Structure 1
């Protein structure tokens, strides 16, 4: 029986390493329970989680990333009050910071659908629908993950990055959605390894700071609807 109940948590502003450790623990527990079910022939419901969080200034490098895409040395990181982590998600380098809504869905895709590309496209669609709620037209850029504005012309700019890991159809990591993000921090990296495209935020596009709680609420509703999940 598929379990579409999802435990929602908002961790607020949390240190990246602490959030990483908490996420890894939930992920490991979920994978372990799936393994026990398979080995013992049991059908204990495997829980799903959706976590929203903001991080202090941090740069993260995915498995396929190139360290040279970080344009700061240790002193430069210190001056920017930022940290740097190499992690086990897909994708290249990205930035997280205050005003950016980071989402970590830890889902057993056996409860939804076992298609990682559809999973990524569904997360993108939730962001696209949320932006549309604010009158911002966005979409996908052929050959790239994430959500983009003006993807069909030279003004293409990314507003949401995606990078996920999946093991035994359990997901971790997720998306980084620029709401009120300080975009100057992106100048210290080649974002996602793409050196000729701009990065933007909802604040930059609309000209005012957004109510983060309102954006979280709208995005959570869209994710729940698209995945046909019950958030609790």
Structure 2
């Protein structure tokens, strides 16, 4: 049955803090349920404790800290199954995991990445921040500084033709996040550009939950999904 407003519903949750491994396992479980047509598509919005993740590009040399330094700083490290290089997740950053079925008819994986970027670009624009893209990189940029990293996985659907997305975006909200976490890595393997955050650019205070709530209508518009945020 079609949804009343002709937009498919999207199960959307905000989780104030979740361990990275727990969130990774949750994504896998939801992807499997979507594939089996046992549940709706979903969007998880959350924060992680300090964590470095290394994607399928596999450049461990872009981690600048030793095991002892990671332990002393309380930062976890995971080698994971998304695309891309190393990045940081931590408090003060809005992480989004869209778990969406992409039909093989008219499927455009490149277009999906651009759509994720557009959601964030549109939201930043409402705060007077002129953000955009760099042609050679994924993510969202303000000048020569990255404010949002994007790394995804396209899981091949088994019951239907197409893919189900997992992983997603990490949007820096709080000031100081660059020094707290990104200083221990070469973010996404890019040495020539820096990292910024919403608060660094605006000098305005915004909680991560407020950012999640404000982002929703932009996600709904770009991806044509009906969304209502649930708090976990």
Tell me whether the two structures share a fold, i.e. TM-score over 0.5.
yes
The structure that is helix-richer by fraction is 1
In the other structure, the counterpart of 2:145 is 157
Which piece of structure 1 moves more, 85-94 or 212-221?
212-221
What aligned pairs does 1:15-54 form with structure 2 within 5 A after superposition? 15-31=19-35, 33=36, 47-54=40-47
Describe the superposition over 1:144-168 as per-residue Cα deviations: whole angstroms up to 9, x where unpaired: 0000011xxxxx0100000000022
In the other structure, the counterpart of 2:12 is 8
TM-score w.r.t. length of structure 1? 0.88
Secondary structure of 1:109 counterpart: strand
The structural deviation recorded for 1:111 is 9.6
The structural deviation recorded for 1:211 is 3.0
TM-score w.r.t. length of structure 2? 0.88
Secondary structure of 1:13 counterpart: coil
Structure 2: gaps (5+ residues)? 157-162
- Out of 112, 115, 120, the position equivalent to 1:122 is 115
The structural deviation recorded for 1:172 is 0.1
Q: Is the contact between residue 65 and residue 193 of structure 1 (CA under 8 Å) also seen in structure 2? A: no
Describe the superposition over 1:118-158 as per-residue Cα deviations: whole angstroms up to 9, x where unpaired: 111011000001111111110000110000011xxxxx010
Q: Is the contact between residue 49 and residue 107 of structure 1 (CA under 8 Å) also seen in structure 2? A: yes
Q: Which has the higher contact order (CA 8 A, sep 6+)?
A: 2
Q: 1:133 & 1:147 partners in 2: Cα distance?
A: 15
Q: 1:62 & 1:126 partners in 2: Cα distance?
A: 23
Secondary structure of 2:11 counterpart: strand
